[in-house]
Structure 1
Amino acid sequence: MHLSAVVIPPCLRGFASDAPPDQAFDVALHGPQVARVQPVPGPVQGTLLSAFVDAHVHLDKNYAADSVGGAEGDLLTAIRRMDVYLAGEGASTLRARMERALEDAYACGSRALRTHLNWDGATPPPSLAVFTALQDAWRGRLELQWVSLIRLDFFADAAAADALARAVRAGGGVLGAFVYRNADIDALLHRVFSLAQRYGLALDFHVDEGLDADATGVHSIARLTQAFGLQGRVVCGHGCSLSAQPAVQALETLALCAQAGVHLVALPTTNLYLQGAWDATPQERGITRLKEALALGVSASIATDNVADAFYPYGSYDLFDSFGLGVQMAHLAPAQDALATITIHPAAALGLAWDGRIAPGCPADLVLLAARNGNALLTPQGRQRVVVRAGVALPLDSGAARTPLNAGPAPVQPPPHRP
């Protein structure tokens, strides 16, 4: 298979090239790998990306909005509603909801997802067994990871916390916690880091998901990451409070994150919906300081978070939709320069074998967008796509975001632009 006259954004080029950003390339695929990348005169026919990596989702909660309703800006209400819903649900409907999400994500071009699963105690929740079965069923198509999502105060009980960490290790998961203005926050986080070090676990936090300037969990986590030598193994999701803090304070925290190798994940859809006042048009956007983080060298990502549940009653598992919103919310122009936030950076956060850069020998797990330049990336026509997995174009149903393709020996080109 050949992909003809496509732009490969500079941040995704895994080969030596001093070609300009709008250089066209012919890309030859051989089986499940990229065989050759060759510059050609053009004209450009589309934009080639590596398949997406969604670093923060909630497979146990999605598609429940019709039953529970949207919480309309109230995080605690959303938590309560979903807790009740999950407690009364059986495994069969949970599996159906989870699998629907995986089908959507795969069709839209994702190759890996990390989901947070609600935990109430040291014993694994029923959702873990359902997830593990799906993890096996989807092996080779989607790389799936899970995180134990539990309140930070749970770690006050040393014996229970140790049992939790052992359960997470036994299940091949990532240790997580929900962190927000907790009493004794430093002592509790110290225990989490001690357990991670003892059991060889990576860490992934829901942290500072609010607009209170005195929420400083990200700073504490970055400091402890350095102290425990866990650089590159710690992820902070949300970090909304950084946007409410004085710039000097927030930038100091982000610089510390860069030094500590802490990954930062922004969740634009859910946090735009949940954060800020609902009695008037909100001025606070609810997104972390993504632009400043990237400028300081933080490995920052954009992820999907919630889909059709109490936290966010809209959306889908098309990560490129979240990317488009994040680019606009955080003013990440030009958009093509931010594409690492859904490819390279989340691949590093999840510790994936392939970093997402396109080069001869890399996996032929790709997304071919119709966009011929950066300005077209976020247009309805420009984001139409062909998804290629293991060198084969997926026979997708047509839709607003995807374009059908019959794979064959002829060169593959994105759909033409219409006037």
Structure 2
Amino acid sequence: MDILIKNARLTDEAPLTDIAINEGKIVTIATGITDEAKKVIDVDGRVVIPGLVESHIHLDKALIASRKPNKSGTLKEAIEVTAELKPTFTKEDIYERASKVLNMIIPNGVTAIRTHAEFDPAQGFTGFDVIMQLKEEYKHLVDIQVVAFPQEGIFKAPGTETMMYQAMEMGADVVGGIPYNDAPANDHIDLIFDIAKRFDKDIDLHQDFADEADHMSIIYLCQKTIDEGYEGRVSVGHLTALHALPDAELNPIIALMAKAKINVMALPATDLHLGARNDEYNVRRAVTPIRKLRDGGVNVCIATNNIRNAFTPYGNGDIFQTAMIAIPVAHLGGADDLPTVLPMITENPAKALKLEGYGIAEGNKADLVILDTKVVNDAIIDIPTRLYVIKDGKITVETTKTVKVY
């Protein structure tokens, strides 16, 4: 064997087990494995989980908060500030910032990322080209899916439609869109489906990012998904407008989303910061209704979105901390709810991203994280040190810590 992990805790109920890894795959999961291995790691009952999945992030516009702050904290100003800054980005600048963020994320246990890469006539493909380059350079550390993302809209920014097709021809993995920042929204969605079908790619939209539910296109998107036979191939980020609906209106939408198998990437760190800025009292959380979506059969994921820019002026690349934010915000701290959170940054986004061979099972890819905790149910709330990260059967990160208390 290449690696043998001894005495791993996979669940809080099952006995400790061993995991044998060879040639990038998990070959055996059993107790008392005696095969020789090049590397033996006795984790002494510590938790082993599949690699974390960062399902919605923007590498190309990270770490720019200090250049031009979003003083109002609103979504409107965040979009305006970023649009003003983007033409000043150089390839060298984007490469330095995006690689710095990758080097923050990877030691925290992420083995797969879906990143939105922007382009428009003002900045060209500067950022997109860099992200495609980083996808190749970092492939031994993390699997990266690149979303072709028209932040400034398509119809609002003439020339972007042609660039969307060019981005797909240049190797984008997913077709992105932003219906709420274009007009009309339904035409934007139709065009995204046309592009996706032409290239046989999945879709990932920034969807209904608003405090109110008065201009939503999620119902149209669901019906379009069903009509086009795209069930399970459409993901949406934000979707904050749903929080403004009473159950009588919300529940039928959730049922339709479940029927269309829409994946939802909840982005609490960003949405808490930008949302409900005009509320004078009883300030709303303005986060998509995670519990209700989950209970309605929707595949819900938790993701970071942005790190230290006009949309999110904080963050350190640790998706556990983002999940920890979601726990109180979405009332996920109860005994029955807490166990559903870890899958929102592992199994659920892996399903949304269609990661092949994901999960701790014989025959699957050996993408694993060893945590410095001995209780699976505490894996989020402990925010434990990631002691080892294993990618494709190779140790990519090893963390040692020394604590002295005097």
Structure 2 Cα separation of the partners of residues 25 and 283 of structure 1? 47
1:138 aligned partner? 138
1:33 aligned partner? 25
RMSD: 2.9
- C-alpha change, 1:363 and 1:89, in structure 2 (3 Å) is same
Contact 2:62–2:307 (8 Å) recurs in 1? yes
2:327 is the counterpart of 1:335: no
- C-alpha change, 1:330 and 1:298, in structure 2 (3 Å) is same
Contact 1:72–1:278 (8 Å) recurs in 2? no
1:177 aligned partner? 177
Deviation string, structure 1 residues 205-240 (Cα, Å, up to 9, x no partner): 111111112132222211110011112221111110
2:371 aligned partner? 369
Deviation string, structure 1 residues 279-323 (Cα, Å, up to 9, x no partner): 767632122111122222212111110001111111022222212
Structure 1 Cα separation of the partners of residues 102 and 113 of structure 2? 9
2:355 is the counterpart of 1:352: yes
Contact 2:119–2:126 (8 Å) recurs in 1? no
1:95, CA displacement in angstroms? 0.5
Structure 2 Cα separation of the partners of residues 61 and 288 of structure 1? 23
2:5 is the counterpart of 1:3: yes
Letter in 2 for 1:33: K
Structure 1 Cα separation of the partners of residues 211 and 133 of structure 2? 38
Structure 2 Cα separation of the partners of residues 383 and 229 of structure 1? 42
2:387 is the counterpart of 1:388: no
1:331, CA displacement in angstroms? 2.0
Structure 2 Cα separation of the partners of residues 124 and 181 of structure 1? 19
Structure 2 Cα separation of the partners of residues 395 and 258 of structure 1? 37
2:268 aligned partner? 268
2:158 is the counterpart of 1:166: no
Matches within 5 A, 1:91-106: 91-106=91-106
1:89, CA displacement in angstroms? 2.2
Corresponding residue SS for 1:68: coil
1:404 aligned partner? 400
1:129, CA displacement in angstroms? 1.4
Deviation string, structure 1 residues 345-387 (Cα, Å, up to 9, x no partner): 2122222222x32111222211111222255323446455432
- C-alpha change, 1:152 and 1:227, in structure 2 (3 Å) is farther
Letter in 2 for 1:166: Y
Structure 2 Cα separation of the partners of residues 122 and 163 of structure 1? 14
- C-alpha change, 1:161 and 1:78, in structure 2 (3 Å) is closer
Corresponding residue SS for 2:265: strand
- C-alpha change, 1:282 and 1:34, in structure 2 (3 Å) is farther
Letter in 2 for 1:172: G
- C-alpha change, 1:56 and 1:281, in structure 2 (3 Å) is farther
Corresponding residue SS for 1:255: helix
Structure 2 Cα separation of the partners of residues 60 and 269 of structure 1? 18
Corresponding residue SS for 2:178: strand
- C-alpha change, 1:124 and 1:384, in structure 2 (3 Å) is same
1:124, CA displacement in angstroms? 4.7
Aligned residue-pair number: 389
2:50 aligned partner? 50
Contact 1:113–1:144 (8 Å) recurs in 2? yes
Corresponding residue SS for 2:73: coil
Between 119-128 and 245-254, report the one with greater CA deviation.
Answer: 119-128
Matches within 5 A, 1:139-158: 139-150=139-150, 154-155=154-155
Structure 2 Cα separation of the partners of residues 214 and 278 of structure 1? 16
1:300 aligned partner? 300
Corresponding residue SS for 1:205: strand
Matches within 5 A, 1:60-99: 60-99=60-99
1:248, CA displacement in angstroms? 2.3
Between 166-175 and 202-211, report the one with greater CA deviation.
Answer: 166-175
Corresponding residue SS for 1:269: helix
Structure 1 Cα separation of the partners of residues 178 and 354 of structure 2? 22
2:115 is the counterpart of 1:115: yes
Matches within 5 A, 1:313-324: 313-324=313-324
- C-alpha change, 1:368 and 1:72, in structure 2 (3 Å) is farther
- C-alpha change, 1:360 and 1:76, in structure 2 (3 Å) is same
Contact 1:122–1:167 (8 Å) recurs in 2? no
- C-alpha change, 1:25 and 1:215, in structure 2 (3 Å) is farther
Matches within 5 A, 1:121-132: 121=121, 124-132=124-132
- C-alpha change, 1:352 and 1:155, in structure 2 (3 Å) is farther
2:212 aligned partner? 212
Unaligned runs of 5+ in 1: 10-19, 397-402, 406-414
Contact 2:6–2:17 (8 Å) recurs in 1? yes
2:233 aligned partner? 233
2:250 aligned partner? 250
Corresponding residue SS for 2:66: helix
Corresponding residue SS for 1:154: coil
Contact 1:235–1:349 (8 Å) recurs in 2? yes
Structure 2 Cα separation of the partners of residues 279 and 213 of structure 1? 15
Structure 1 Cα separation of the partners of residues 164 and 181 of structure 2? 23
1:192 aligned partner? 192
1:139, CA displacement in angstroms? 2.0
Contact 2:107–2:386 (8 Å) recurs in 1? no
Query: Share of identical aligned residues, percent?
Result: 26
Contact 2:179–2:188 (8 Å) recurs in 1? no
2:36 aligned partner? none
2:40 aligned partner? none
1:410 aligned partner? none
Letter in 2 for 1:404: T
Structure 2 Cα separation of the partners of residues 151 and 86 of structure 1? 11
Structure 2 Cα separation of the partners of residues 329 and 72 of structure 1? 22
